[in-house]
Amino acid sequence: MAAPLLALSGVSKSFGAVAALSGVRLELHGGEAHALVGENGAGKSTLVKILAGVHAPDEGTITMDGRPLVLSGPADARAAGIVVVYQEPTLFPDLTVAENIFIGRQPQRSLRRIDVAEMRARAVELFGRLGVRLDPDRPARGLSIADQQIVEIAKALSLDARILIMDEPTAALSGVEVERLFNVARSLRDSGTAVLFISHRFDEVFALCQRITVMRDGRWVSTDPVADLTVDELVRRMVGRTVSSLYPKTAARVGEPRLEVSGLTRRGSFEDVSFTVRGGEIVALAGLVGAGRSEVGRAVFGVDRYDAGEVRVDGRRLSRGDPAAAIEAGLALVPEDRRQQGLVMELSVERNATLPRRWSLTRLGLLFGGAERRAAAIWTERLQVKAARLSDPVSTLSGGNQQKVVLAKWLATRPRVLIVDEPTRGIDVGTKAEVHRLLSELASEGVAVLMVSSELPEVLGMADRVLVMHEGRLVADIARDRADEESVMLAATGQGGRR
Amino acid sequence: MPERARRVFGSWDAVVLIALVVVSVAGALAIDGVASPRFWRFVSLEAIPIALIAMPMTLVVITGEIDLSVASVLGLTCSVMGQLWVWGVTSLPLIIVLCVLLGALLGAVNGLFVTGFGLPSLAVTIGTLALYRGLAYVVLGDRAVADYPIGWTTDAVAPIPRTTIPWVILVVAALAVVFGIVLHATPIGRGLYAMGNNAEATRFAGISVRRTKFWLFVATGAMSSLAGVFWTLRFASARADNGLGLELTVVAAVLLGGVSIFGGRGGLVGVLAAVALLGTLRNALQLAYVPANTLTVVTGSLLIASVVGPNAVSLLRARLRRRRAGAAPAASSPR
């Protein structure tokens, strides 16, 4: 094989006593897409930050075209042709798409006036090369995350990027958007750019990349062509042990209807949604992003109001738009957006973990010092949350552990109906399996579980039944034994037969 | 130093308390009259209405809102109180009840605009600041009602037996205990901090953010009116311009007390200490014949210090923690 475009060898980086990376190596070749996989905390993000010039390595060398490369800041990285597209791009919302692409280096006419026409024409040309349609004159505000990423990639292209790093770009994208992003990445790759792709989704890794590097605990584990690897082998290398199963679904005795939703309508979001979840059942709510799945979960729980229909828990009707009453009735919602909706990031782990049930911890209406800590300790231990101290802000925890705190917070309320919205988004494989085992356990204890998920393997692996939504309507109810990728995707794209 | 001690002495509350002690001692040594019992009587009388309003204001600011109409609520209360006397209402308890109800109503109007229509409290209460003060002039014009029974006005400022401190300070203390417990030791208080940091996540935890904030505005209005009743009786004069500009003193005390203007941080101890500190400083400087303009400059500087101070303290602590952990100070944490 030809000499690599970019090579890292023996790269180490420590933060205080914590070694984030030790002796990592990586080789990127032009015209090749390279996947970087590993659990959360494996050091992927630190590696990306070193390549982006944000952090300087303590040890090791970086070479580009065989010459040593010193990156003492993000500007150096950009000058060397290294561009990073993050999961959530940060565009200037009030500037146009074209202005965002050329920010700080706008084409100029005489007297340093910005040449708007030229800028616009170059933006159109860039989008043409990427094969996407985007209006260069619209403001960035209101662009979908997928479109924002396209703008970032166009920016990369305009900078003549030789190395494109994509850090979990697909976590918030729908299937169609992922496909478009991949087409763009492929066309860049085929024109000689080296692509480094970081993702937790194996199907994407196998669809896009030629080689895979696995990292674990800040160390390099292996680099192989995709053809030589299976998903099981990849998982084993990532966690360093054999994961018995990613989807430990056990059959549970299905009991009485716990959650009954009928004719639920919220104008502009979803219409006439009816379904039942029984105790012991895990029911998945599948569909494309924007189909209205999360909105249904939020309306059922009461954080959003609905215009028509009713929700019953154990036969009792819930009042509209009243989450406190829903919690009282035994409902719990683990929301989609952990940082905005699931947790108060600045508050401590113990305050977060006891927030919904703080009234039940009082004596004479008062919360004495230890009550919250003791209650939080029980559940954080049961879920094996790794936190130095329960009084630390929850923002100091890793993503997987934060998700466990959200789960602990709601499991502590002893729910009879649990709604989980994207329960494993952005968390590593090991924690994923734990969360799945937990859901399975809860179901076998008689809890009714409604799981909103965009990950098909998760839907198919965990659900007793799959409900599929398309454009705000429930279009299919598929039993476990008949559910497969094809039937779910057909229904989700609106091509399946109505039930 | 043990962990607990460091937490206590390293807090902003402690900084304000220490500043209060330093100012008191230095004042007593340097300025003639500060050591006298009469001085502390005047500081107390001045601090009482500010403390009454600052307590509910602390809760409001912790939830990320603000109420700038408090001084106008106080003024309107004074006008109405004067008009009630003119109309021949001679029962003081009845007058107090009516005034507090009026304050609650005025607060409810604020709360309705903020929580019902989702408007920013800063804009709403700047509006009602002007509106309520205007109504105060409508009710009483530029008259002053000053013919209250002498017994009412002397009772209001009567000292605790064998001291010079007015007995109303005991009412303030009792209310402080109530507010302190609500804020720091009840589920309600936990909810206030949560919604000040992240209202959406708080809603997802089943806490009604809007209802809570509504009642906080009601409480702030009621307490402002109570302060208005005290104000009228203390000066034996109900006027429409009573307490003009007091809202800035209250907000200054709340911020100097360590409450974050962005919500989610702060406590009642620091705020009460700040009320006392501002009152002591002002009166001491007055005794030293410092001109009024200079006093304003001092108050303003303290306000700036209060915004910079807690940030500087937490920055310093974070740096010390990193130093102890042995990391380079410039490195950000790994993710």
Query: Taking CB atoms and an 8 Å cutoff, what residues of chain B touch A22?
Result: none
Residues A298 and A228 in one domain: no
- Looking at residue A230, its pLDDT comes to 86
CB contact under 8 A, A341 and B193: no
φ, ψ at A141 (rounded to 5°):
-60, 130
Whether A323 and A216 map to the same domain: the answer is: no
Of A15, A346, A361, the CB nearest to B331: A15
A160 shares a domain with A53 = yes
Query: What number of CA atoms fall less than 13 Å from residue A329's CA on the CB side?
Result: 24
Overall number of domains in chain B: 1
A346 part of a folded domain: yes
Written in H, E and C, the secondary structure of A148-215 is: HHHHHHHHHHHCCCCEEEEECCCCCCCHHHHHHHHHHHHHHHHCCCEEEEECCCHHHHHHHCCEEEEE
Q: What's the CA gap between B275 and B286, in Å, rounded?
A: 17
The answer to the question of residue A117 being in a domain is no
Residue A279 and residue A169 share a domain: no
DSSP state letter for A275: E
Please say if the pLDDT value at position B335 is more than 70. Answer: no
Query: pLDDT tens across B15-34, in order?
Result: 899 999 999 999 999 998 88
B300 falls within a domain: yes
> Mean of the pLDDT values across residues A164-168?
89
The tokens for A357 are: 């049930």
Which two three-digit tokens encode residue B301? 């500087």
> Does B7 or B262 have the greater pLDDT score?
B262
Stretch (H or E) spanning A408:
helix A399-411
Q: What is the pLDDT of residues B69-87, one digit of tens each?
A: 999 999 999 999 999 999 9
Residues A267 and A174 both lie in one domain: no
Taking only the tens place, the pLDDT of each residue in A439-453 is 999 999 999 999 999
Residue type (1 letter), B117: F
The answer to whether residue A110 is domain-embedded is no
Q: Tell me which residue in A346, A355, A368 faces B190 most closely, judged by beta carbons.
A: A355
Work out the angle between the directed axes of helices B121-140 and B92-111 (0-180°, nearest 10): 140
The candidate with the shortest Cα–Cα distance to A459, out of A446, A447, A450, A448, is: A450
Residues 6+ apart with CB under 8 A from A203: A457
The C-alpha angle B23, B28, B29, rounded to 5 degrees, equals: 100
Please give the DSSP secondary-structure letter assigned to residue B201: H
Contact B194 A324 (CB under 8 A): no
Chain CA centroid to CA A114, Å: 38
**Inter-chain CB proximity A355 and B205 less than 8 Å:** yes
Spell out which residues of chain B touch residue A368, defining contact as CB-CB under 8 Å: 185
Q: Do B198 and A345 touch (CB under 8 A)?
A: yes
> In which domain, by residue range, is A332 found?
257-492
Q: Do B333 and A15 touch (CB under 8 A)?
A: yes
Residues A224, A361 within the same domain: no
Q: What is the pLDDT of residues A239-254, one digit of tens each?
A: 776 555 678 777 778 8
Split at pLDDT 50, 70, 90, the class of B321 is low
Which CATH number covers residue A197? 3.40.50.300
**Chain B contact for A395 (CB, 8 A cutoff):** no
> Which of A344, A357, A398 is most worth mutating to test chain B (most B CB atoms within 10 A of its CB)?
A344
- State whether ipTM is beyond 0.95: no
Is residue B268 a part of any domain in this protein?
A: yes
Answer yes or no: is B42 within a domain: no
- pLDDT tens per residue, range A310-351: 999 999 999 999 999 999 999 999 998 888 899 999 999 999
Rounded Cα distance between A407 and A172, Å, is 21
Q: How confident is the model at residue A163 (pLDDT cuts 50, 70, 90)?
A: very high
* Residue A108 belongs to a domain: no
pLDDT for the residue numbered A28? 93
Together in a domain, A82 and A184: yes
A250: left (phi over 0), alpha (psi -120 to 50) or beta: beta
What pLDDT is recorded for position A29?
93
What per-residue confidence (pLDDT) applies to A476? 92
Say if residue A148 is in the same domain as residue A293.
no
- Residues of chain A with pLDDT > 90, as a percent, come to 43
pLDDT at A147 over 70: yes
Q: Is residue A104 part of a domain?
A: no
pLDDT at residue B24, rounded to an integer:
93
Task: From chain A, pick out residues whose CB is under 8 angstroms from the CB of B327.
Answer: 15-16
Confidence (pLDDT) at A499:
43
Angle, helix A369-382 to helix A399-411, in steps of 10 degrees: 110
Nearest to B194 among A347, A361, A365 (CB): A347
Number of residues that this document lists for chain A: 499
Final residue of a structural domain among A239, A271, A301: A239
Put simply, the answer to whether A323 touches B197 (Cβ < 8 Å) is no
pLDDT over 90 (residue A490): no
- Checking if the pLDDT of B8 tops 60, the result is no
**CB contact (8 A) between residue A335 and residue B204:** yes
Range of the structural domain that residue B94 is part of: 48-308
Provide the pLDDT for residue A235: 79
Q: What is the pLDDT of residue B1?
A: 42
Q: Scan for tokens 């507010």, then name that residue.
A: B179
Confidence of residue A388 (pLDDT cuts 50, 70, 90): confident
Residues of chain A contacting residue B205, judged by C-beta atoms under 8 Å apart: 323, 355-356, 409
Interface check for A381 against chain B (CB to CB < 8 A): the answer is no
Chain A residues touching residue B186 (CB < 8 angstroms): 362, 365-367
Domain count within chain A: 2
Q: Which residue has the tokens 């690897």?
A: A229
CB A209 within 8 A of CB A33: yes
Examine residue A245 and state whether it is found in any structural domain, yes or no.
no
**pLDDT band (50, 70, 90) for residue A188:** confident
Same domain for A349 and A223, yes or no, is no
Instruction: Quote the CA–CA distance of A396 and B74 in Å, as a whole number.
Output: 44
Q: Residue A126 domain-assigned? A: no
Q: Give the dihedral of Cα atoms B62, B63, B64, B69; nearest 10 deg.
A: -90
Chain B hits for A16, CB-CB cut-off 8 Å, are 322, 325-327, 331
Last residue in a domain, options A239, A266, A299? A239
Residues from chain B that touch A20, judged by Cβ atoms under 8 A, are 334
Boundary-marking domain end, from A178, A211, A239: A239
pLDDT at B331 over 50: no
pLDDT score for B310: 66
Q: Please check whether residues A371 and A269 belong to one and the same domain.
A: yes
Question: Quick check: is A131 in a domain?
Answer: no
CB of B102 within 8 A of CB of B76?
yes
- Are B210 and A322 in contact by the 8 Å Cβ rule? The answer is no
Q: Which 3 state secondary structure label does DSSP give A286?
A: strand
Interface contact B202-A355, CB threshold 8 A: yes
Residue A396's pLDDT is 84
- Chain B positions contacting chain A at CB under 8 Å are 181, 185-187, 190-191, 193-194, 197-198, 200-208, 264, 322, 325-327, 331, 333-335
